[in-house]
């Protein structure tokens, strides 16, 4: 996964493209999810996924669960993806669904979530306000798909489940009863489709040399062996659009929460001024 920084990200996002009745409708739903999150004691960020072939029906909607689950990775985007996987029939490809899906979210996804969205193959994200501290869609950096072809580094067989660090402890059970992890779903489906693709996708870089780690006075050395076969699957670049008409509402939701104070935040951060950090999701 690579990233590119921009000196002025607001000049890189086409807010005009977000002016439509569809955008307004689903951004209102995302804002309502954020309000529900605030009522639940969560940082008020909400989102909804909508498939292009069923624009009148949401695939899933959610707000942050970080405080509820005591897990910093449970941002609304990842909670929403878990919900979608749980509802997918066994024969339906998660990747194929995501490639025709738009995410509407009140705040620009953080770098972690932007990486997850890219790996999942999400087509487009529409957000209300920028995230000036952790934004992964232009606010701080722009997360890009991993390199393809011979220049890419292959991931080890034993490290596949590490590909979705942002999905840690977020395994989801499909309707069929199968327990899945979103990152593993992406890898498995990419491998299944590999024979038909012409380009090569590699997951996040992991060295294939012998690795040694130390815990206390014990040394644990692992010979990682040869890298796994490269996955023949390409990822599309995530299109990011700001729905500027919802910027003020998204910021005000965050401001109202942080003025009250996040009861789960460390004391030092609770005393921090709001001005620059208001969009910290």
Which pLDDT score is estimated for 134? 95
Which pLDDT score is estimated for 195? 42
Domain residue extents for the chain: 2-142+237-270
What residues are annotated to the active site?
77
Which pLDDT score is estimated for 204? 34
DSSP state of 163: G
Place of tokens 């529900």: 36
CATH number given to 2-142+237-270: 3.40.140.10
Which pLDDT score is estimated for 64? 98
Which pLDDT score is estimated for 235? 79
Give the DSSP H/E element, type plus range, for residue 36. helix 21-39
pLDDT < 50 regions, the chain:
6-7, 9-12, 16, 150-174, 176, 178-185, 187, 194-232, 275-281
pLDDT 10s digits, 83-112: 999 998 988 899 899 999 999 999 999 999
Contact indicator for 75, 64 with CB cutoff of 8 Å: yes
**SS3 of residue 145 by DSSP:** coil
Q: How far is CA 151 from CA 116, 142, 175, in A?
A: 22, 20, 39
Bridge partners of 3, per DSSP, are 143
């Amino acid at each position: 996964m690579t990233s590119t920084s921009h000196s002025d990200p607001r000049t890189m996002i086409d807010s005009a493209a977000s002016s439509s009745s569809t955008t307004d409708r689903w951004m209102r739903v995302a804002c309502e999810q954020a309000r529900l999150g605030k009522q639940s004691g969560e940082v008020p960020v909400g989102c909804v996924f909508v498939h292009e072939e069923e624009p009148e029906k949401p695939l899933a909607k959610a707000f942050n669960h970080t405080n509820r689950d005591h897990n910093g990775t449970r941002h609304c985007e990842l909670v929403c993806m878990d919900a979608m996987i749980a509802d997918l029939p066994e024969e339906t490809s998660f990747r194929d669904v995501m490639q025709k899906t738009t995410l509407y979210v009140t705040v620009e996804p953080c770098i972690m979530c932007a990486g997850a969205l890219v790996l999942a193959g999400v087509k487009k994200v529409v957000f209300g306000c920028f995230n000036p501290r952790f934004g992964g869609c232009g606010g701080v950096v722009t997360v890009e798909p991993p390199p393809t072809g011979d220049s890419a580094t292959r991931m080890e067989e034993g490290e596949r489940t590490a590909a979705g660090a942002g999905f840690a402890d977020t395994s989801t059970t499909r309707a069929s009863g199968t327990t899945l992890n979103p990152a593993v779903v992406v890898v498995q489906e990419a491998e299944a489709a590999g024979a038909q693709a012409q380009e090569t996708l590699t997951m996040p870089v992991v060295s294939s040399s012998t690795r040694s780690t130390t815990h206390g006075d014990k040394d644990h050395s692992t010979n990682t062996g040869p890298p796994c076969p490269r996955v023949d699957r390409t990822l599309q670049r995530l299109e990011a659009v700001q729905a500027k008409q919802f910027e003020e509402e998204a910021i005000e939701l965050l401001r109202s929460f942080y003025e009250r104070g996040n009861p789960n935040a460390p004391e030092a951060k609770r005393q921090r001024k709001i001005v620059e950090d208001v969009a910290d999701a």
